[in-house]
Structure 1
Amino acid sequence: MLFSSLTDPVDIARAEAAFEAAWEELATISDVFDERKRTKLACIVAALVAIAQDEDDLKRRAIARYRREGVPSFSSPAKGT
């Protein structure tokens, strides 16, 4: 479950709705199966759910933070290490 850190059913419903709407706006065809990006967005949504006014506000804030922070890339270790 993406939002296991949340306990309030209303917060969970808001988070799920905002997450799906934000993912639909952010995801490209190549991102559809990228779990790192979905998990990153879910963490952002969960962190913002308590301060958002409604699902649209939560979606807007989550997209803004996602774009600002980006997704960490996993690069291969440098040679000789």
Structure 2
Amino acid sequence: MPFSSLSDPVDLARAQAALDAAWSEIRSTIPDAFDEQERTKLAYIVASLVAVAEDEDDLTLRAIERYRHSVVA
């Protein structure tokens, strides 16, 4: 469970919203066969960035950047 470490309801809501926003941008670049796996990977990235992001938009942008960097690396 990617968000199991989040206990604050505000952080949890922010993480879910950022995940949804990031996924809507990334989704079109992922083959259908890998949807679930890549969304879970993105969720873990979002969860790892909640504490350092300034707000939901910052969290979304950081998650997209980290995800794209992980795909290239």
The structure-2 alpha-carbon separation of the partners of 1:67 and 1:33, relative to structure 1 and needing over 3 Å to count, comes to closer
Give 2:55's aligned amino acid. D
Distance in 1 (CA, whole Å) between partners of 2:33 and 2:11 is: 25
- Structure 2 residue 27 is the aligned partner of structure 1 residue 63: no
Q: Higher mean Cα deviation, 9-18 or 31-40? A: 31-40
- Structure 2 residue 48 is the aligned partner of structure 1 residue 47: yes
CA displacement, residues 3-42 of structure 1 (integer Å, 9 cap, x when unaligned): 1221110100000000000000000273486211011000
Per the normalisation by structure 2, the TM-score is: 0.86
More helix by share: 2
- Structure 2 residue 20 is the aligned partner of structure 1 residue 20: yes
Runs (4+) of structure 1 exceeding 2 A deviation are 29-33
**Does the 8 A contact of 1:18 with 1:55 survive in 2?**
yes
Distance in 1 (CA, whole Å) between partners of 2:25 and 2:12 is: 20
Quote the offset at 1:70 in angstroms. Answer: 1.7
Give the aligned partner of residue 11 of structure 2: 11
SS in 2 for 1:3: coil
**Does the 8 A contact of 1:31 with 1:37 survive in 2?**
no
The structure-2 alpha-carbon separation of the partners of 1:24 and 1:32, relative to structure 1 and needing over 3 Å to count, comes to farther
